[in-house]
Amino acid sequence: MLRIRNLSVYFQTIKGTFAAVNNFDLDLKQGEIVSIVGESGSGKSVCMLALMGLLSKNSIIKYDEISFEGKNILQLKDSQRRSYLGAKMSMIFQEPISSLNPCFRVGDQVAEVFRFHQGDSKKAAQDKTIDLFTQVGIADAKHRYRDYPHQLSGGMNQRVMIAMAIALKPKVLIADEPTTALDVTIQAQILNLLNDIRDKYNMALILITHDMGVVAMMADRVVTLYRGQQVEISDKEQLFSNPKHPYTVDLLASLPEEAKGKRLNSITGVIPPLHEIFTGCIYAPRCKFAVPECQKPIKMKSAGKNHLYRCIR
């Protein structure tokens, strides 16, 4: 349904042009949950924002193919492209409170989707919104409709954001770290809600996260991203039972569940800055198994059905 080939995103800054994402591939089927995993700065949000056309003006996007239901949405005319955004493909963000406009009632912000895309009357949009609020677990929806974002909790605001995103039953919902800013108790509620919605509408969910716990709970398939490069693409079960790339191995080892009785593993070093250019493996400087061959360009290798990784081992 959604197919991305060779997506690269560059940013022009005063200090030069940097690649934030290199040769990103993705295939998304109806109803599945794909997790994009990586540390902050790995470019996982950037490629999804690029897909939505939400990047700032100093970005350059290159790709071989982008097709959503057979159409290249990035090449559509503005007005046509907008008819997809928020309707067939929508997105929720990390900070629910700042992602909602402080000057408008939360209800009106959701109702705006019905009014703008479908031309619904004020009353109709309002009724649909209240109905939607109840569906996403907002109690006393009628009164919450009239609240402003600052009057609601983070979890409530994220429910509003989810309501806004699923209002028109999109085919794809992109969730960019939807639970990172929330309390632990709320996190599970929101993830369950997303799961329920996926089942109900049979929509595909792209879940961007740095939390392997979230991946374990939600994902069907997992894309591991390291500094703008995909290092492993795999079904979840295979990834957890048989991780191939050392970065994925290290990521999994840093899960608290994996360290029962042992010291919690942490990855040493930091992600190299974007202006450093690599011909070989980008993870080599932090990798326990690095050998001189790692400096050569490395292609994706197959490790069985639906399992690709980028390492010489």
Partner 1 sequence: MFKVISKNLLLMIPTLLGIVIISFSFIRVIPGDPVIALSGERAMTPERYDELMHEFGLDLPLHEQFFSYLGDVVSGDFGKSIATRRPVVEEFFTLFPATVELSLCALFLAIVIGIPVGMVSALKKGKLVDNLLMGVSLIGYSMPIFWWGLLMIVFFSGYLGWLPVSGRISTQFFIEAKTGFLLIDSLLSGEEGAFLSTIRHLTLPGIVLSTIPLVVIARQTRSAMVEILDEDYIRTAYAKGLSKFRVVGIHALRNALIIVITVIGLQIGILLAGAILTESIFSWPGIGKWMVDSIYRRDYPAVQGGLLFISLIVMTINFIVDFTYALINPKLRK
* Site residues, partner 1 (CB under 8 A): 52-54, 78-79, 82-87, 90-91, 93, 95, 98-104, 112-113, 116-117, 148, 150-151, 161, 164
Distances (CA, A) of 205 to 34, 35, 125, 176, 179: 6, 8, 25, 10, 14
Q: How far is the CB of 161 from partner 1 (least distance, A)?
A: 7
How far apart are alpha carbons 240 and 194 in whole angstroms? 22
Nearer to partner 1, 148 or 278 (CB): 148
Instruction: Report yes or no: 255 and 261 within 8 Å, Cβ to Cβ.
Output: no
Q: How far is the CB of 48 from partner 1 (least distance, A)?
A: 10
Chain centroid to Cα 103, Å, comes to 27
Q: How far is the CB of 168 from partner 1 (least distance, A)?
A: 9
Nearer to partner 1, 161 or 204 (CB): 161
Nearer to partner 1, 42 or 99 (CB): 99
Q: How far is the CB of 17 from partner 1 (least distance, A)?
A: 17
Instruction: Report yes or no: 68 and 254 within 8 Å, Cβ to Cβ.
Output: no
Distances (CA, A) of 282 to 23, 138, 307: 14, 45, 20
Torsion of Cα atoms, 273 then 182 then 137 then 156, to 10°: -100
Q: How far is the CB of 182 from partner 1 (least distance, A)?
A: 15
Residue 195 dihedral angles phi and psi, to the nearest 5°: -65, -45
Nearer to partner 1, 5 or 117 (CB): 117
How far apart are alpha carbons 229 and 150 in whole angstroms? 38
Q: How far is the CB of 169 from partner 1 (least distance, A)?
A: 14
Nearest one of 29, 150, 168, 184 to 89, comparing CA atoms: 168
